[in-house]
Structure 1
Amino acid sequence: MPRDGLRIGTFVKTACPQTIEILGMSRLHFAVVDAEHAPFDRVTLDLMMTASCAVGLPLAARIPEVNPAVVLSTLDIGAAGLLVPHVDTPDIARDVVAMTRHRGGVRGFSGSPRFARYGTLSMAKSLDAGEDAYVMCQIESAEAVENAAAIAAVEGVDGLFIGYADLALSMGLESPQDPRVTAAADAVIEIGRAAGKTVGMFVSNTAERDRFAARGVSWIVLGSDQSLLRNAADAIVPAA
């Protein structure tokens, strides 16, 4: 899913496959369907993945929970990767990786879904395709920050994604800009880079994008389809 260099994407929170088609015509490198905080059922998520394939825009999914059935269905329909919330311990990270793997894991197998090209791949090649699932673990609690090095060391974890809003709340704070949150985020960035893992983060504007990119964050989710639409609408109306 990520490649070398800075990769920029956005969250998609609107259950509309045409949104993916349109974003696929932009310069974005990827998008993330937010099935944790937005209303996506399995059928709608499948349509979003269909649009992703049509335009060649890699589409990850932020899953609503760590659950074998959720992971299985999300990968079977062709998600390029998973953004997994609340990975607070290395044990949770190992469980997540096992859920994504047929070989050596607990992921159930069928050659009929989209990830296996609807039965046109051999079983061996389908299993190979299943190994490509990209796993980004969200570090969004004080406990997760403490365990970040151990989480990054889990084989099969591809990256750490800093959820600094929930991180602030877990620290008893109400501002992601609090210096204590920034210090925790910086620690995770250094841990991820030292482990050779991708470091990801949500940002709300281009200034934050540039600031965190300079610190080594290379997988950046900037805003969402909602904020992009709202900001573009505001931009065409003269200020009062």
Structure 2
Amino acid sequence: MHRTRPAQIGTFVKTGAPQLIEVLGSTALDFVVIDAEHAPFDRGMLDLMVMGGHAARIPVFIRIPEMNPAVILSCLDIGAAGLLVPHVDSAEQAREVVAMARYRGGRRGYSGGPRCARYASLSMAQALHQGDQAQIICQIESAQAVAQAQAIAEVPDVAGLFVGRADLALAMGLDDARAPAVLQATQAVLQAATRADKLAGMHVGGTPEREQFMHQGANWFVVASDQTLLRQAVQAIAGAGPKDRSAAA
């Protein structure tokens, strides 16, 4: 039997500036997600961003660019609280990702030196335990993944499912993330995660969408992004429409 999970709210961060993480850490957000899939983050900047999260005491997830053992190892070694893994289409792929991310029962390489092991201040047993707490959230972005959502959710150590509505729409031949077929698939994924007692996650544009999908079982929300939130706040001050800057070009 599944239990009701309290909603957690975060946002995507697409700008390489650790100060942003410090600022967001001073708010009521539960977590942030560094978008290394669609924004230009190298390994050094990811390290600084996660360092900012540790300093501000806000969990930092990383949306990785690919399912690659070296990428997963690096992101977890620098101390990410978890990974958002794009384009997981099957339970087999989910098991592979989990194996790459886990020491015990998996294939993650060990070093006592990185941030995740507190720079060799933990014993090996403590570091293994700490490292294996990282949350692995599988992003569902295709019709195949929707059909496999229940099996993916039930893979041990998969912490949750995350609906990628934009890519899901594209996979369906659509250009609207709110098309009825996409919304129906979204609800099916949220229900699969709920039945498995896992996080049911999705990206939403703002509070109205968050409230809508919360009633459908979603409980892990990535709301907008740092860029969108900054633009919305500035537009609220400066006026309704974008300024014509053609004369200054």
SS in 1 for 2:44: helix
Which residue does the alignment assign to 1:11? 12
After superposition, give the CA deviation of every residue in 1:115-150 in whole Å (9 maximum; x if it has no partner): 000000000000001110101000011110011011
Give, in whole Å, the separation in 1 of the partners of 2:135 and 2:201.
13
- The residue correspondences of 1:14-53 to structure 2 (distance < 5 A) are 14-53=15-54
After superposition, give the CA deviation of every residue in 1:168-210 in whole Å (9 maximum; x if it has no partner): 0001111011100000101111111111111000001211011
Which residue does the alignment assign to 2:133? 132
Which residue does the alignment assign to 2:246? none
- The residue correspondences of 1:45-194 to structure 2 (distance < 5 A) are 45-194=46-195
SS in 1 for 2:26: coil
Change (3 A) 1:239 1:82: closer
Give, in whole Å, the separation in 1 of the partners of 2:179 and 2:35.
25
SS in 2 for 1:236: helix
After superposition, give the CA deviation of every residue in 1:53-93 in whole Å (9 maximum; x if it has no partner): 11101100000000000000000000000000000011110
Percent identity, aligned pairs only, is 56
SS in 2 for 1:138: strand
Give, in whole Å, the separation in 2 of the partners of 1:191 and 1:102.
27
Counterpart residue type for residue 157 of structure 1:
V
Give, in whole Å, the separation in 1 of the partners of 2:178 and 2:155.
29
**Runs (5+) with no aligned partner, structure 2:** 242-249
TM-score by length of 2: 0.94
- The residue correspondences of 1:208-219 to structure 2 (distance < 5 A) are 208-219=209-220
Tell me the CA shift for residue 4 of structure 1. 4.2
The alignment of Structure 1 onto Structure 2 pairs a total of residues equal to 238
After superposition, give the CA deviation of every residue in 1:92-125 in whole Å (9 maximum; x if it has no partner): 1000000111111110000000000000000000
